[in-house]
Structure 1
Amino acid sequence: MTVAALAVLALAACGAEKGTPGSSSSVVPDVPLSGTDWRVDSVTVDGKRVPAPHGADVSFTGGRVSGSSGCNHFSAPASVKGDTLTVGHSTSTLIGCPKNIQEYERALLRTVRGKLTAQLDDGKLTLRAPDGDHVVLGSRPAAPLTGTRWKVTSLVEGGTASSLPQGTAGKARLTFGKDGTVRGNLGCNRVSGMAKVTKGTITFGHLTTTRMACRGPAMTLERQLLKLLHGPVRYEIQQRVLTLRTPGRSGIDATA
């Protein structure tokens, strides 16, 4: 089973107003979750603490919260207003996992749903349900540009992000080398070439590809990527999310 592709997580810039009639309102800034990636420390349900297995993580990217239990993957729509995270219905892969991971998965999916209070404190993020169940997350360092395999998750045109063509999710990826090279896959054909990295900018040279005959969505994605990965583009990394933008505000989003 496949997990729904990620889109762009919209955060209200002005935050949420709280106050009572007749009193001055205060503005509560939105908790800054967009483009962040966390390791799961533990989940507490009905007062019982369930430790997270190795590799368990949670990301807030593309209008969704998604994560891995170290076995299965899940994804759900999510939005932030002030200190409230609202999580919609989740989808998950259905791999048979060891008993201890199954217990953790049940606890996590039971907790990360509906309206949760999000609290950031000294590098820790706590998501708390109204009944007191909660998840404790720890921050992860930003992924380096070079040496990381970046999976393309969305296309951007004029500042608006869209999902990849149907059936191509997870197929396009890029890796930048410290020697100024770039290589990867465009969804069908392998690609390689040079990419000069300066502060905030990647300048792509001529890219060469293999010559497999691709059809339908795979070829559509390949053509779009070749058009975007040309000349100078601005890049930015937020934890484990890479954005590439051309001067015309087209580009891609990718995750480590």
Structure 2
Amino acid sequence: MKRVFILIGIVLMFIVNCFVLSAAKTVNLNGTSWELSEIKQNGLNLQIPSNTKITVSFSGNKINGFSGINKFNGTYRIRDFVLSTTLNTTLMGGSEELMNFEMTFLDILQSSPRISYNANTLTLKNRNGNTLTFRKDSNNNQSDSNSLSNLTKELSGTKWELVKIDRKEMKDIFSPNDDGITISFSGNRISGNSGVNNYFCDYIVTAGNITVGTIGSTKIAGPDNLMKLERQYLEILQNAKKISLTNNKTTLIFTTDSGKTLIFEKI
């Protein structure tokens, strides 16, 4: 009888140990959001493009985020501290530098990296030593309205048409039936049509100063004069430093440090 109890005790201890080990290998990222703070490839730290917020969020078995130009989403699974993902992305284009960075980020994210994390830091490291390091997204628990400036709130949900680019009148280029160049605002996101292609980016406004994130766009060709105008428009928008509303908030002006301007009227 004594031997039976000893055997039962051994079995129970084995079961408890298995349970403890299994629990120790469980990583729960559900309900968390993270912002990329460092990326390392082939032993070298890569520079994260300025004004670009790379993010990843976990909810249930779903994963989503922003990889620099495109949004991604899909499913994920964690087993023995290894992250497995199946991702889909939008198919927008951007600068070669940002496209290459985005590809590197997504490659590491999808390479079954090993997870290590604490309350404020998440690290994903694959077998080649390539690493993504994230910090807790500080805006995750804030409402959009609380994290946006007053001007950003005013602009959110509005659409504007370009009427003048660096003293050049758009009415001399586009006919009244043409759509022209437009810009729309949604939260801290900008989108619109730049004459031929659709474009998009993030932006931040602080006390009349604007920082425009890296602009991405579709890659459609058009007439030479419109392509030239599009390049000029996107260059000024990318380098804009000041933003203001005038004429009873019906005119919107972007200004660069060199004094080049984009003037819009509300649609």
Alignment TM-score > 0.5, same fold:
no
TM bin (shorter chain): 0.3 to 0.5
Indicate the structure (1 or 2) with the bigger Cα radius of gyration: 2
Task: Give the structure with the higher percent helix.
Answer: 2
Q: TM-score by structure 2 length?
A: 0.42
Between Structure 1 and Structure 2, which shows a larger proportion of strand residues?
A: 1
Q: What is the TM-score with the length of structure 1 in the denominator?
A: 0.44
- Greater relative contact order (CA < 8 Å, ≥ 6 in sequence): 1
